Structures are given as structure tokens and as C-alpha cells.
Structure 1
Amino acid sequence: MLRPRHPKTVWNNDTQGGFTAVELMVTVTILAILAALAVPSFTPLIERWRMRQITEELQSTLYLARAEAIKRGGNITIVRTLGDSGCSDISASPALWDCGWQVLFTTPGTTPGTPTTTNLQRASAPSRTHIQLRDGQGRGIDTSTPISIDRWGQITLGSNTSFDFLIYPSSSSSTNTTKLCVLASGRIKRLDIGSDPCT
């Protein structure tokens, strides 16, 4: 019985796979155009994420400070961090907390008149954001007076029993502005729209 003969496969060594230089240039150009169109649309999303991150971190700081004050019998303060190597100098704007903040516990110390301060938490703010501490009427507060928490967990700022943090991007986009309110009742309230009243 004769077997059918199969044709031999002939490989052409002259055929090479891959892209030509023109095809590669066209592909790169199209990708660059798509990236240029997509990046601006992500900016508001990134800004909203930054504002939410700061607001949640400030809120958790206030809860931590309150818990520590109740546990340690008061003497807890929250102060802003002044300009350091990673942040621009904000000394000219005493209401801004752009460089971050610290939670401090102060004890009388072993020597009279020389209190001992323990840093319980240090937080930094993301770049390209602003954090402004304001009184109940929306005016910036000089933060030479720290936020104090007593042994009962009551949060005060000097004579102000209510105040807020206004958190906004450096691009001044009001749509991404958020607010963290500290009310006289002790309630901490987050508002996604910075223009809403704290009450």
C-alpha cells in the first residue's frame, strides 16, 4: 500500500517578525496622545483623594488625643509642625498647618518649672495641599495657642470651644475643599463640601 506523500514545509529565512520603525513611531505617538488626554481627567480624582486622606488623618489624631487625655488625666496638646526639610516655611501664615502636626503630652517634670514633653504622634500633610485652622466664624486662628484636651476629653483652642480645619488643594479648586469641624459639644464632624456650615 502506498502512503501519500506530504509536501515538505519550506521555511523562508528571509521573513522576520516584529515592528518596523514607522509602526513603532505611530504606536508611541498614539500612546502619548492618549496619555496626554487622560492625565488632566485624573487631577480632580487625585485631589479628592488627598483631601480625604488629610481629613481622615486629622480626625484620627483628634480621637487619639482625646483617648490619651482621658487615659493620662489631661495635659494633651495638638500643635502644628513648623517648616522643616520637607516643607516650606509657614511661619508667615500662623493659621496654616501645611507642614503637619504633633500630639504632645506634658508632665510637670522632676525639676519645678521645667516640664517634660513627650511626642505621642507626628503626622505630615501631603504636598500641594493647604490646611487652615479657623474659629467658629470662619476666621483663621493664630496657632501660637495649641489645641488642648482635658481629662474629660473636652477639646478647646484657647477661648474657642468650636473650630474647624479647612482642607483644600493648592490649585484652589473649591469643589475638592473639605472641612473637619470640632463642635462645642465635643462632636467631630467631617463635611465633604467646605462651604457647608459646621452646625
Structure 2
Amino acid sequence: MDFLCQAIIFDVDGVLINSDPVADRHWRTWADRHGVDYDTIARIHHGRPTVETIRQVAPHVNAAQEAHLKETAEADDTNGLVLYPGAKELLAGLPRDRWGVATSGTRRTVSIRFPHLGLSEPMVMVTADDVQRGKPAPDPYLLAAERMGVAPANCLVIEDAPAGVASAKAAGAKVIAVTTTNRADDLGLADAIATALATLQISVHPHGLVVQVNSAV
């Protein structure tokens, strides 16, 4: 399956960077401290802003304060972070003004993780700090498209989480979902589902970017 687009917007964690060891470690610590069932957190936190997850699982705490503390500690923790296979090569092959990121993480997190893993910082970066409504609301992808100067309908989003897929679709973008953190059955809103980022082939043409899904679910 092929997609033609003018720009590609990537989610970060679960798409470009495998941060599961870091996220799990900090969520488990937080859950133990507040007496919250970790499995409940694990079912919903992918693709959502930290503050929204905390509001759902622990409505009795100060969600904004707790999210800030957790996000700061997690951003500074690079132990166990790795790139997904093909991520560095894929980004290196794209014009820098034709790709960006929209993540539920903080700007601090992206600014630490990208250089740590040898990635150039995106020219367009939308984080949880930039929007009042995070995924699954369309705001992150609407803002990313606006900053890239491309209509959402001409953007292709690469996502891994149901909340992110819903956000991109609500913004009017096409979506390829990778099954790195969620089952294909949970990503059904996507226009295509791939087993891994490395199965995507992207070529640059005068009329735009062509993205080929070589291994679909």
C-alpha cells in the first residue's frame, strides 16, 4: 500500500524511540507511591499526556503537580532507551523541512532523548507543553501541520497508540500505525497497519513523499 503526502509527522515514543523500559520503571515507582494498580496505568498511558493518565487513575491527587514531577524525572533518565530499527536511516533520508514530531511527552524529554540517541532535533516539534488538549484530541497534529505549513489532509502520521491514531484522524490526516506497543485490533482507525517502522519505505519525489508499507497487518 502506498501513500503520497507532503509531510510526515511522527509520534516519538513507540514509533521512533523504544522508551518502554524507562516509562515502565517510572510508572511503577509512581504507582507504588500512590497505591495505584500499575496494570490499570499500563492499559491506558501509551499515547496520552501524563497528566491525563494521572487524572484517570488517581483523581484524588494534584495531577498537574504529579505529572510535572514524574515527567522531569523520566526525561532525565536515558537508561534503556533505544531507537527502533530503521529510525535513524529513515529520518536521515527525509528533507528536514518535510518531517516533524507530535508527542505526548514534554519538550525537555525530546530535547534530551534525540541527541542522546544520535538524532537531529526536529525543525517542527509539538509536545505536551504546546497544547491545552493532548491526544486523542486533534490539537497536537493540527498544530504540527500548521507549523509545517501543510494542510492536515496532506500529512501522513506514523503512530503506535489508539489515542494517537484517533488524534491524527480527527485532525484530518492519514495514519499508518505500527504494532510496537498495541495490538492491531486496537489500531483499527488507522489507514494502514505495519508490523514495524523498518517495514516502511519512503522515497522523495518532486511532487511529494511516497511512503510504501511493505509489511502490513
- TM-score w.r.t. the length of structure 1 is 0.28
Point out the structure with the larger strand share: 1
Bigger Rg over Cα: 1
Q: Higher relative contact order by CA 8 Å / sep ≥ 6: 1 or 2? A: 2
What is the TM-score normalised by the length of structure 2? 0.26
